[in-house]
């Protein structure tokens, strides 16, 4: 490894230096409170009881010339006052032989030899011989080239790889708090961790850095974006894997529960718990999770409500807050005059003790790009305003410092659920500007590109994954601000939603209504406007199907809905909103006068129907009394596929310890002993699981349907089941990493040299 130690702040560098030098001299090195030791960062006593003083200087920002100047003009005075018998100097800067000679001369006669001066190369050499110290410093080793290459190699190519790179780039700001310790314990013991907390408290950062650690330990990292089917398709028995599902309920827990997302998550959790080589980390806002658990019997029954694997980040200790603030200041690139304003009269205490303290706000008040808009004499007022009114932090930047074009880009991203593909954003941006008669002197294409560049500086992130460009919000609190300011502005909302043509935008609208951010009355006005506009202009069948479902059963919209369905029937093409299409067909089938279901086969295409869609498919066949042989056959194929997939995920429920065991043969080699009739016993258990899955559908049409259970069970390779069972017994748990504990109070941490 070859570190420049830039990932560590000065206090962390001092602790690392003391740990390293303790191995060199085989002595325990005492450390002292920062700033109150007259230049002593550590000391130990020689065998003849002579005091040996250590001093550390993390002068990465100044370079060797700045370091030498500082030592000559200031540090040497302190050392002369100490008058040590022996003085050892440590710095994170690279030192040449000439540099060491010059430093020895400055501190003569206290530095006895050149090798009592340690530079970057010397520290790396000591680290290479003490791997246990290296691993103790999470931020240090996790960002090293070798470790990070291993991390990236353990990521699924595409979004997961990009996500790990993003986490790594932010990890230097990470502070390991007591929540880290608690989270690690839960994850190690239960294999599943659900982190909840208020916005900005650090849920995502904690989850991301835990994922980073596991990826460095040869766990394949899978970032789940929208559906657990992504994870289920990649899940590999006998392989170390860590799954990450950020904001797993989204903002719309009702939609999640209605679509049986709770059932999928619960089943996947059970699957992970029974696999020693898998870990699963999820995050959610506290209010969303509480509401979701309250309304979901499945979550309640599966002990999520009993906190079996939940960590709620309700608060940080004051020392944790101090470390977070100090670390952000250290890496902020703020001018000294601004930093002085935080240190004056120990105002940092007011920040740490403020009732609205959270890491997200600290990031704002130490963001040099934002602070540069203020005079240093106004900086403390900016800090107070940000902490006192956290939802207003975007006000000036959004309304005054940026133009209407940039604001429209943000609106479209917010009301599209927080992220949007570049082509969708470009098209919607053009529509919204035209609807509002916004004119620019530049060409639309050029205008879009220039405005997105402006927005990226303040509001949006741009990412490229597998050659696909996406925009997302720079910070989730942008959504909070926009909703607070514009959720009552129906005219603006109508323009925005009419310009967007994605399912995600409709999901967002429904979510805002259910969370009472937009009133039901206003939501209906917006939906009506969208519907009337889209049925004339929209060509995307999935969007039309979704928006039609918003008015399912509405007498006033009946004729228009039937017209939309007939359009799909007459010009069928593959759609993904199958569940909602089945509901539309079920509601209006008797008015359609359709001969056969060939059109529906074309809508389904070659895609497999999932567990949610099969229920609506069953309702359609049953209620509308469909006897079309081809469509019944399509239903059977998909139902059988679902049963096979579900059985494959639940086959671990069969306790193989009752039918097979490892024994020792006459030649002392391991043998596998089988209970007589073991295959039939296993198949009987698998059959019981399939029957349980069928009953779980709670649909008479499925329960009473002629299903070939024998064919489903035979899909399972029993020999492979047994092999997997024994392979899973061979892996031991690993030990958690050591956590840095800094036993200093807040004032000592903020003491300046």
Q: What is the pLDDT of residues 233-250, one digit of tens each?
A: 788 888 899 999 887 776
317 burial (CB, 10 Å; 0-12 / 13-18 / 19+) is: exposed
pLDDT value at position 652?
A: 81
Q: Say how many C-beta atoms besides its own lie within 10 A of residue 225's C-beta.
A: 12
pLDDT value at position 510?
A: 92
Whole-number Å distance between alpha carbons of 502 and 49: 75
Residue 624 has pLDDT above 70, yes or no: yes
Q: Which of 327, 374, 260, 270 is nearest to 614 (CA)?
A: 260
Please tell me whether residue 154 adopts helix, strand or coil conformation.
coil
- Token pair recorded at residue 182: 């608690």
pLDDT value at position 573?
A: 95
pLDDT value at position 474?
A: 74
Q: Each residue of 625-643: pLDDT tens digit? A: 999 999 999 999 999 999 9
Q: Each residue of 502-535: pLDDT tens digit? A: 999 999 999 899 889 999 999 999 999 999 999 9
pLDDT value at position 732?
A: 46
What value does the mean pLDDT take over residues 89-93?
91
Q: Which of 129, 131, 126 is nearest to 115 (CA)?
A: 126
Q: How confident is the model at residue 227 (pLDDT cuts 50, 70, 90)?
A: low
What value does the mean pLDDT take over residues 303-317?
63
pLDDT value at position 305?
A: 47
Give Cβ neighbours of residue 491 (< 8 Å, ≥ 6 apart).
none
Residue 252 has pLDDT above 50, yes or no: no
Whole-number Å distance between alpha carbons of 384 and 460: 25
529 burial (CB, 10 Å; 0-12 / 13-18 / 19+) is: middle
Residue 618 has pLDDT above 90, yes or no: yes
Q: How confident is the model at residue 59 (pLDDT cuts 50, 70, 90)?
A: confident
Q: How confident is the model at residue 540 (pLDDT cuts 50, 70, 90)?
A: very high
Q: Taking the complete model, does pTM exceed 0.75, yes or no?
A: no
pLDDT value at position 149?
A: 67
Cβ–Cβ < 8 Å for 718, 679: yes
Listed ranges 105-119, 197-211, 432-446, 716-730; the one with the highest mean pLDDT: 105-119
Whole-number Å distance between alpha carbons of 4 and 17: 13
Q: Which of 571, 734, 539, 728 is nearest to 651 (CA)?
A: 728
Domains of the chain: 10-136 (3.40.1350), 140-313 (3.40.50.300), 318-393 (no CATH), 629-716 (no CATH)
Residue 614 has pLDDT above 70, yes or no: yes
Q: How confident is the model at residue 198 (pLDDT cuts 50, 70, 90)?
A: confident
Q: How confident is the model at residue 317 (pLDDT cuts 50, 70, 90)?
A: confident
pLDDT value at position 498?
A: 95
Give Cβ neighbours of residue 638 (< 8 Å, ≥ 6 apart).
608, 609, 614, 617
Please tell me whether residue 753 adopts helix, strand or coil conformation.
coil
pLDDT value at position 444?
A: 57
What value does the mean pLDDT take over residues 560-579?
95
Question: Given CA atoms 626, 627, 631, 632 in this order, what sign does their dihedral have?
Answer: positive
Please tell me whether residue 311 adopts helix, strand or coil conformation.
strand
What value does the mean pLDDT take over residues 458-478?
79
Please tell me whether residue 317 adopts helix, strand or coil conformation.
coil
Higher-scoring residue by pLDDT: 136, 101: 101
Whole-number Å distance between alpha carbons of 574 and 542: 9
Whole-number Å distance between alpha carbons of 78 and 37: 10
pLDDT value at position 403?
A: 85
Residue 390 has pLDDT above 80, yes or no: no
Percent of the chain with pLDDT strictly greater than 70: 83
Pairing of the two strands 419-421 and 241-245:
unpaired
Whole-number Å distance between alpha carbons of 675 and 51: 72
Q: Say how many C-beta atoms besides its own lie within 10 A of residue 26's C-beta.
A: 7
pLDDT value at position 671?
A: 64
pLDDT value at position 446?
A: 62
pLDDT value at position 479?
A: 87
Q: Say how many C-beta atoms besides its own lie within 10 A of residue 421's C-beta.
A: 14
Cβ–Cβ < 8 Å for 209, 174: yes
Find tokens 């809508």 and name the residue. Answer: 603
Q: Which of 578, 584, 640, 646 is nearest to 612 (CA)?
A: 578
Whole-number Å distance between alpha carbons of 376 and 372: 9
Residue 546 has pLDDT above 90, yes or no: yes
SS (H, E, C) 368-409: HHHHCCCCHHHHHHHHHHHHHCHHHCCHHHHHCCCCHHHHHH
DSSP 262-291: HHHHHHHHHHHHT-TTEEEEEEEEHHHHHH
Residue 413 has pLDDT above 90, yes or no: yes
Residue 259 has pLDDT above 60, yes or no: no
Q: How confident is the model at residue 415 (pLDDT cuts 50, 70, 90)?
A: very high
Helices (H), 154-202: 159-170, 178-190
Q: Which of 8, 330, 325 is nearest to 138 (CA)?
A: 8
Average pLDDT of the residues of the chain: 83
What value does the mean pLDDT take over residues 426-430?
94
Q: Each residue of 118-167: pLDDT tens digit? A: 999 999 899 888 878 877 787 777 666 666 666 666 666 666 677 777 77
Residue 729 has pLDDT above 70, yes or no: no
Find tokens 């205008």 and name the residue. Answer: 447
Residue 593 has pLDDT above 80, yes or no: yes
pLDDT value at position 308?
A: 57
pLDDT value at position 260?
A: 55
What is the H or E stretch that residue 645 is in? helix 629-650
pLDDT value at position 257?
A: 47
Cβ–Cβ < 8 Å for 579, 616: yes
pLDDT value at position 427?
A: 94
């Amino acid at each position: 490894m070859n570190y420049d130690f830039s990932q560590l702040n000065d206090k962390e560098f001092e602790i690392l230096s003391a740990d390293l030098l303790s191995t060199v001299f085989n002595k325990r090195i005492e450390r002292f409170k920062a700033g109150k030791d007259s230049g002593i960062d550590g000391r130990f006593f020689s065998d003849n009881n002579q005091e040996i003083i250590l001093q550390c200087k993390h002068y990465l920002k100044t370079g060797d010339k700045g370091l030498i100047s500082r030592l000559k003009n200031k540090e040497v005075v302190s050392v002369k006052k100490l008058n040590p018998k022996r003085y050892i100097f440590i710095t994170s800067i690279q030192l040449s032989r000439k540099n060491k000679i010059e430093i020895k001369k400055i501190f003569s006669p206290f530095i006895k030899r050149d090798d009592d001066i340690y530079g970057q190369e010397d520290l790396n050499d000591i680290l290479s011989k003490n791997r246990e110290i290296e691993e103790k410093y999470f931020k240090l080793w996790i960002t090293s080239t070798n470790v990070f290459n291993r991390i990236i190699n353990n990521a699924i190519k595409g979004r997961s790889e990009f996500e790990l790179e993003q986490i790594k780039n932010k990890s230097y700001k990470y502070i390991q708090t007591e929540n880290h310790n608690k989270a690690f314990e839960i994850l190690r013991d239960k294999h599943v961790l659900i982190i909840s907390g208020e916005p900005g408290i650090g849920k995502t950062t904690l989850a991301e850095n835990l994922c980073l650690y596991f990826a460095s330990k040869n766990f394949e990292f899978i970032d789940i974006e929208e559906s657990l089917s992504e994870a289920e398709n990649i899940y590999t028995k006998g392989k170390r894997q860590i799954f990450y599902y950020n904001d797993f309920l989204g903002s719309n827990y009702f939609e999640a529960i209605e679509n049986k997302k709770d059932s999928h998550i619960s089943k996947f959790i059970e699957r992970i718990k029974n696999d020693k080589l898998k870990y699963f980390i999820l995050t959610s806002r506290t209010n969303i999770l509480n509401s979701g658990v309250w309304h979901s019997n499945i979550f309640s029954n599966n002990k999520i409500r009993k906190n079996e694997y939940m960590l709620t980040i309700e608060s940080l200790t004051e020392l944790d807050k101090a470390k977070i603030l100090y670390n952000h200041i250290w890496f902020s690139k703020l001018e000294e005059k601004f930093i002085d304003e935080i240190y004056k009269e120990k105002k940092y205490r007011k920040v740490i003790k403020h009732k609205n303290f959270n890491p997200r706000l600290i990031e704002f008040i130490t963001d040099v790009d934002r602070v540069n808009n203020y005079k240093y004499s106004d900086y403390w007022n900016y800090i107070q305003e940000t902490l006192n009114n956290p939802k207003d932090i975007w006000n000036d930047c959004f309304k005054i410092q940026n133009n209407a074009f940039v604001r429209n880009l943000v609106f479209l991203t917010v009301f599209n659920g927080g992220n949007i593909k570049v082509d969708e954003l470009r098209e919607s941006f053009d529509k919204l500007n035209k609807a509002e008669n916004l004119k620019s002197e530049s060409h639309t294409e050029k205008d879009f590109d220039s405005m997105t560049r402006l927005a990226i500086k303040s509001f949006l992130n741009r990412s490229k994954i597998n050659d696909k460009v996406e925009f997302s919000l720079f910070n989730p609190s942008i959504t909070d601000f926009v909703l607070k300011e514009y959720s009552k502005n129906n005219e603006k909302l109508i323009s925005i939603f009419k310009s967007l043509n994605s399912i995600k935008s409709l999901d967002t609208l429904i979510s805002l209504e259910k969370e009472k951010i937009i009133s039901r009355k206003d939501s209906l006005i917006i939906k009506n406007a969208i519907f009337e506009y889209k049925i004339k202009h929209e060509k995307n069948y999935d969007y039309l199907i979704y928006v039609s479902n918003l008015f399912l059963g509405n007498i006033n919209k009946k004729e228009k809905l039937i017209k939309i369905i007939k359009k799909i029937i007459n010009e069928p093409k593959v759609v993904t909103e199958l569940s909602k299409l089945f509901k539309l067909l079920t509601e209006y089938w008797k008015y359609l006068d359709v001969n056969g279901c060939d059109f529906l086969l074309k809508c389904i295409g070659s895609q497999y129907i999932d567990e949610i869609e099969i229920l609506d498919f069953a309702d359609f066949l049953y209620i509308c009394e469909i006897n079309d042989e081809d469509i019944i056959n399509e239903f059977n194929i998909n139902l059988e596929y679902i049963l096979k997939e579900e059985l494959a995920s639940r086959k671990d429920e069969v306790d193989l310890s009752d039918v097979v065991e490892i024994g020792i043969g006459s030649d002392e080699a391991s043998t596998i002993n089988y209970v007589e009739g073991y295959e039939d016993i296993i198949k009987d258990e698998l059959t019981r699981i399939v029957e349980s899955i069928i009953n779980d559908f709670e649909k008479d049409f499925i329960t009473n349907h002629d299903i070939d259970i024998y064919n489903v069970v035979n899909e399972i390779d029993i020999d492979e089941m047994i092999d997997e069972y024994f392979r899973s017994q061979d892996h031991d748990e690993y030990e958690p990493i050591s956590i840095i504990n800094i036993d200093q109070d807040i004032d000592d941490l903020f003491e300046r040299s």
